[in-house]
Copies of this chain bind each other. A is one copy, B any other.
Amino acid sequence: MSNSKLVLHNYFRSSSAYRVRIALHLKGLPFEYASIHLNRNGGEQFNPANSDRNPQQLVPVLSDGDIDISQSLAIMEYLDETYPAVPLLPSAPRERAKVRQLSLAMACDIHPLNNLRVLKYLTGPLGADEAAKAAWIDHWHVTGLTALETELARDPQRGRFCVGDTPTMADCCLVPQLFAAGRFGLDLAPFPTLRAIDAACQELPEFQLAHPARQPDSE
């Protein structure tokens, strides 16, 4: 176990930052919240310090002593290996595979398509109007969440949470994804299994503490 101070370079509304906040709270790890405001000063993710920490110029980045880690799933796996108390992944390989599969289905196939930089490209170079942008957001949310609902509704490994009765990395991804979908006005009625898991998560103080509305840079 490292004794260095954890710093999360972070933005209250970023889904991927929200995932890592949940993970840190679940593990009970204190961290410094360093705000990188994506909509101020031309986008603080592009400033030299953040570009140096992460050439992708995205958030979140976790600094743990002399190491900077980007990519929320890489951060959560690192936390699980370095601070193993309160695991974010089950122990059996097939359950670990399911947690990762669910997490990646959101982190690869929903979130990046509806990310700020992509929406800016749609309305900028591609000239999409607000209706076309809204339809795009809706399309990838519905496509991705429908597949997740189908997968989880039938899954015997599912419990109170995505996999079993303990929150895992998959739940750290699901709650921010549903928050984002709701923020864009998506009707969540067709996803009862996802909503039930979300409700179970929302009861836990660790998820409540990580909510965008409770962060220091929240608006």
- Which A residues lie at the B interface, using CB under 8 A? 54-58, 67, 69-71, 73-75, 77-78, 81-82, 93-94, 96-98, 100-101, 103-105, 107-109, 111-113, 118, 121-122, 125-126, 128, 132, 135-136, 139, 144, 146-148, 150-151
Closest chain-B Cβ to A69's Cβ sits at a distance in Å of 5
**Copies of this polypeptide in the complex:** 2
- A77 and B100 form a contact (CB under 8 A): yes
Q: Say whether chain A's binding surface is mostly helix, strand, loop, or mixed.
A: helix
Q: Contacts A135-B125, A147-B56 hold; do A97 and B113 have CB atoms under 8 A apart?
A: no
- A77 and B57 form a contact (CB under 8 A): no
- A82 and B71 form a contact (CB under 8 A): no
Q: Contacts A67-B94, A69-B101 hold; do A109 and B109 have CB atoms under 8 A apart?
A: no
Q: A126: which of B54, B96, B126, B150 is its contact (CB, 8 Å)?
A: B126
Residues of B within 8 A of A118 (CB): 113
- B105 and A108 form a contact (CB under 8 A): no
Closest chain-B Cβ to A34's Cβ sits at a distance in Å of 18
Max count, chain B CB within 10 A of own CB: residue among A81, A111, A112: A112
Residues of B within 8 A of A97 (CB): 67, 69, 74-75, 77-78
- B74 and A82 form a contact (CB under 8 A): no
Residues of B within 8 A of A82 (CB): 93
10 new A-B contacts at CB < 8 Å, known A57-B147, A125-B135: A55-B147, A55-B151, A56-B147, A58-B109, A70-B105, A77-B96, A77-B97, A82-B93, A108-B108, A126-B132
Report 12 cross-chain contacts, Cβ distance below 8 Å, ordered by A residue.
Answer: A55-B148, A56-B151, A69-B101, A73-B100, A74-B97, A77-B100, A82-B93, A108-B111, A112-B113, A125-B139, A126-B132, A126-B136
Q: A125: which of B67, B101, B109, B132 is its contact (CB, 8 Å)?
A: B132
| Complex-state Cα separation, A70 to B100, whole angstroms | 9
Residues of B within 8 A of A77 (CB): 96-97, 100
Residues of B within 8 A of A139 (CB): 121, 125
